[in-house]
Amino acid sequence: MEAVEMNSVSLKRPHSEDDVASADEIKRQKILEKSKAGSDSGQSIETVTEQLKDIKSEMIPNDESEEQEEEDLGDSDEDGDPESFADMMKHGLTESDVGITKFVSSHKGFSGILKERYSDFVVHEIGKDGRVSHLDDFSVPVDDEVNFEDPSEETFTVLSDEDKQRLEELQLFKNKEASVAIEVIEDTKEKRTIIHQAVKSLFPGLETKTEDRDGKKYIIAYHAAGKKALANPRKHSWPKSRGSYCHFVLYKENKDTMDAINVLSKFLRVKPNIFSYMGTKDKRAITVQEIAVLRITAQRLAHLNKCLMNFKLGNFSYKNHPLKLGELQGNHFTVVLRNITGTDDQIEQAMHSLREIGFINYYGMQRFGTTAVPTYQIGRAILQNNWTEVMDLILKPRPGAEKGYLVKCREEWAKTKDPAAALKKLPVKSYQSYVWNNMVSKRIEEYGLRAVPGDLILKGATAVHIEEGDVDNYTIHDVVMPLPGFDVIYPKHKIGEAYKEMLVADNLDINNMRHKIRDYSLSGAYRKIIIRPQNVNWEVVAYDDPKIPLFTTDLDKLEGKPLPLLPVDGKFRALKMEFSLPPSTYATMAIREVLKMDTSIKNQTQLNTTWLR
């Protein structure tokens, strides 16, 4: 396969950023010198507490710096400066770094660009009933209960920006006053009713009353039930015949699920914890998923469509239950691979293999972060109780920007000053994923694509070994491999010994994966070796303009946008593919099997033409 070399492209950061990076490196080194003085690998959690205090004082001197770090580092991905991102990715991980080394298909690989545009990657959630979530209806359901009336459209505009600011500060207990008075300019009963409705609808936890002051009428807003009312919207204003939860379909572009929830809660002025969902979705994609929210009307949610960019809400319904993580059946993916080099025969062989055989169920690159310090190394150090190394890895000077778990650890410390909570943000389970990837590669290398005696299969929730006489009853699609932890069994062949050797090399006891800090104990689990996607379809299309979309999204269809007319013989070719996957599997690993090339961001950065222009 062919990769574009970037040696001739200048990727150096601007001078001002170099200065900041140098200053940060000096600070990190200073902290590391403190942490290493008189310490050893048996360093205690109490010592970590003191060192994390140093992180706060040295790395984040004030709240403004913390907010700036979150903005700079949290968003330093493909949407930021292309040269800075490419520079960071020169030091990123490749697939072989995390144990991803094998393929199961026999076709010749070819190159293609994944996610050249975020709209080239579309995810539709599949609910537990097997229904694929689509945004195809903006209408608001009408209640049967006559006595209850949703706020009118005027509710959202009757309050001035100044009034909203004062009410929000009152709602969040940020001011000294116990109430906020809003003068009624047009003193009619209808106007007063609208203001009452607006305050109660837009600011959960506040109640209102009307008062006469110096011959003028005022709406007085005040707290009804203390701070708890903010997280528990009023019950008395919700009709008994209506389900307590408004379910809706969220269509979002280039935002991950938690970022989206935070934006929605900010605009609705409620706590994020009243939202629930079945699974988190990628950031650099268009995703469609179901969300549930406690006692927020469909009308209020629908109004957000006029306020928010890159979000659309629809398909509203009221139900009596929230959503729970993991309840989904999986996700349906629509993916465009641009500028492909494969022949028609190669593409046909690749897609037929994907449909008939499947792909190795590796944990994808996003599981391991994008920084120069692999997250599995931090997880391994935690399991070893090697707190000095944990601190070294967190604070280690590294080229380029950083994001993900390391930033979340620092953010949690800055917010809570709780070292245990900060350390919980670190990915212990990434070490399990790293071990599993390496072991499944070894399993494929040793035994190929057949079930063998000593392999593991699941019967219900229990793993059992395949006996010699039963091997013909099973295929590679039945075989599972364990994630190392307590209460699991290992294969009764070479791979079982390989697990033990790998953990011993990392100073871990395969028979005792319990950790003295309970949250770091690794409970074991089992994962299928090979996943065979469902609903596999594909099409090769030609195009000239890399910026035009090659299929219509749910929003395009709702807005009546037709697909651009594509040339019969364009300069470029793209592979449009669709498939469905169960939860906890990675679409990038299916795409990797088709292309037979490294799907790491480091490698894709080199191929992506938009970053080379």
- CA-nearest of 607, 604, 450, 606 to 529 is 450
DSSP, collapsed to helix, strand or coil, labels residue 436 as helix
Q: For the chain, what is the radius of gyration of the CA atoms?
A: 27
187 is catalytic: no
The bridge status of strand 479-483 relative to strand 456-459 is antiparallel
Asked if 536 contacts 350 with a C-beta cutoff of 8 angstroms, the reply is no
Beta bridge partners of 292: 247, 276
Which amino acid does the sequence have at 163? Answer: D
Asked if 523 contacts 485 with a C-beta cutoff of 8 angstroms, the reply is yes
For 156, phi then psi, to 5°, come to: -80, -10
- CA-nearest of 278, 338, 329, 333 to 535 is 333
- CA-nearest of 156, 326, 133, 131 to 248 is 133
Beta bridge partners of 523: 486
Q: Helices (DSSP H) in 81-177: which residue ranges?
A: 82-89, 161-171
Give Dmax over CA atoms of the chain in angstroms.
Answer: 95
Q: Both tokens of residue 184?
A: 């009624």
Q: Helices (DSSP H) in 399-493: which residue ranges?
A: 405-416, 419-424, 428-447
Asked if 490 contacts 479 with a C-beta cutoff of 8 angstroms, the reply is no
Asked if 601 contacts 368 with a C-beta cutoff of 8 angstroms, the reply is no
User: CB atoms < 10 A from the CB of 42, how many?
Assistant: 10
Can you tell me the distance from the alpha carbon of 535 to that of 132, in angstroms, rounded to the nearest whole number? 12
The bridge status of strand 330-338 relative to strand 121-126 is antiparallel
Asked if 96 contacts 583 with a C-beta cutoff of 8 angstroms, the reply is no
- CA-nearest of 385, 352, 340 to 542 is 340
C-alpha pair distances (Å), 242 with each of 30, 143, 317, 416: 59, 7, 10, 38
Can you tell me the distance from the alpha carbon of 321 to that of 306, in angstroms, rounded to the nearest whole number? 27
Which amino acid does the sequence have at 578? Answer: E
| Active-site residue, from 87, 163, 282, 554 | 282
Query: DSSP per residue over 341-391, as a string?
Result: ---HHHHHHHHHHHHHT-EE-PPPGGGG-SSSS-HHHHHHHHHTT-HHHHH
Would you please indicate which residues are annotated as catalytic (active-site) residues? 282
